[in-house]
Structure 1
C-alpha cells in the first residue's frame, strides 16, 4: 500500500495550520524560564527542543525554495521516505540521533527571543513558496522526491510530535491542533508503527483495548 496524501489535501492548509498552533508555546514564559533545563528528550535542553521545533518551518522554506527536482532523484511515498531515514531505526544514543540533539542544543544559544523571531519570519515566507510549489519537493537529506502534500504532512508531523515533547517538558497542556493537521499525522504514525512493530499490535492498540499488547513498544519512532 502506498501512503500518500497527493491530491487528498492542500499542502498550505496542513503546514500553515500546524505552524500557526505553536507560537504561544514557543513564546511562553515557561519555555524561556527553563531554556537551559533538560527537556523530556534525554540530553536535549528545552532550548534545543524549541529550536528543533522551529526548524521545521526553516526546513520547509529551504526545501520549497530549491525550485527544481534533480532528474536522478527517486519519487517515494511517506513510508519510502522514512525507510531512507537513518535516525529512525538507530538507537537513542547512536550518532544519527545524538548529532541532531547536539546540533540543536548548540543552535539554542540564540535564545528564546531570537527563536521566536525565526519562527515568525519563516512562517511569513511560506505562503508564497507553497503557492508557487510544484507537485513534488526534493528532499536532499534522503535524496528523494516527495509529493508536496506528503512533504507538508512530514513537516506537520514533526511539529505535532515535538510540540507535545516541548509542552511536556515545561509542564504545559498539550496543544490542540486542527483536524486538517491531526488526521494525516495520526494516520502516518499508525502506518509507520504497524510497519515497524507489526499489524496485530497496532490494530489492537487502536481498536481493542481488551486485547491490546503493551503499548510502550508500539511507537512509530522507537
Structure 2
C-alpha cells in the first residue's frame, strides 16, 4: 500500500477516535467553531471524508487522464466561496444529513467504513483513477486521498476546538503531506516570497498566507 493510503487510514482512524469523544456527543446540538455549522453537521462533514472515498471507489474506473492535484483546486468552485454560497450551504446540509442518526451511530458507521477501506485501498492498483462527479473530472486515487487527508486534519482541528478538547496529534507521515499541500496552495495564492517570508522573516511577513 502506498504511503499516502496508509497515512489516510491513520488520519481516518484518528477522526473516528475524535468523533467518539464524549465531548462531541455532549455538544452535539450546539454551534461549532465554524460559521453556520453546528457540531453535529461538522461531525458529519468530518465523517464524510471517509464516506466520500467509498463512494468514488464504487464508481466505474473513468476513461482518460486525470488532472493534477493543484489543478483540482484551481478548478473547484468552492475556492474562495463565501459561507452563504450554495456550494458551502450544500456542504453543511450534507454534513447534517450524515449526522442525523446521532453521535453514536455516526461513530459506528464511520468506523465500519474505515475498516472496509483498509481492505479496499490495499487491493487498488497504484495507478487507480477515480472520477469526481462534483468536478466533473478525474484524479489519481492517491491525489484524491491527499485531498481527503487534508480535510480530515483540518476538520479534526475544527471539531476539537468546537468541543474544547485537544486537537489530535498526527504522526509526521500523516501531517507532512497535509502541510506540503497547504504550502503549495498558499504559494499559488500569495506567491513564493509571501510564504517564504511568513515562515522565516517575521519582520517582513505578510499578514496572511492562507491556502484558501
Shift of the 179–67 alpha-carbon distance from structure 1 to 2, 3 Å rule, reads: farther
Match of 2:172 among 167, 174, 179: 179
Local SS of the residue matching 1:20: helix
User: Deviation of residue 46 (structure 1)?
Assistant: 0.4
Match of 1:164 in 2: 157
Match of 2:71 in 1: 80
**Maintained 8 Å contact 1:11/1:152:** yes
Cα-to-partner distance string for 1:82-134 (whole Å, 9 max, x where unaligned): 11211112122211112211332243221001110121111011022212223
Match of 1:118 in 2: 109
**Maintained 8 Å contact 1:65/1:129:** no
**Maintained 8 Å contact 2:15/2:46:** no
Local SS of the residue matching 1:22: helix
User: Deviation of residue 137 (structure 1)?
Assistant: 2.1
Aligned equivalents of 2:188, 2:23: Cα separation in 1? 37
Given the two structures, how large is their TM-score scaled by the length of structure 1? 0.88
Aligned equivalents of 1:202, 1:139: Cα separation in 2? 30
Cα-to-partner distance string for 1:10-49 (whole Å, 9 max, x where unaligned): 3321211111212221011111010011101111100100
**Maintained 8 Å contact 1:193/1:219:** yes
Q: Residue 56 in 1 paired to residue 58 in 2?
A: no
Structure 2 segments unaligned to the other structure (5+ residues): none
**Maintained 8 Å contact 2:197/2:206:** yes
Match of 1:189 in 2: 182
User: Deviation of residue 204 (structure 1)?
Assistant: 1.3
Local SS of the residue matching 1:137: strand
**Maintained 8 Å contact 1:35/1:46:** yes
**Maintained 8 Å contact 1:85/1:142:** yes
RMSD over equivalenced CA pairs, Å: 1.7
Alignment of 1:205-216 (within 5 A): 205-215=198-208
Aligned equivalents of 2:13, 2:22: Cα separation in 1? 18
Match of 2:96 in 1: 105
User: Deviation of residue 140 (structure 1)?
Assistant: 2.0
Structure 1 segments unaligned to the other structure (5+ residues): 1-6
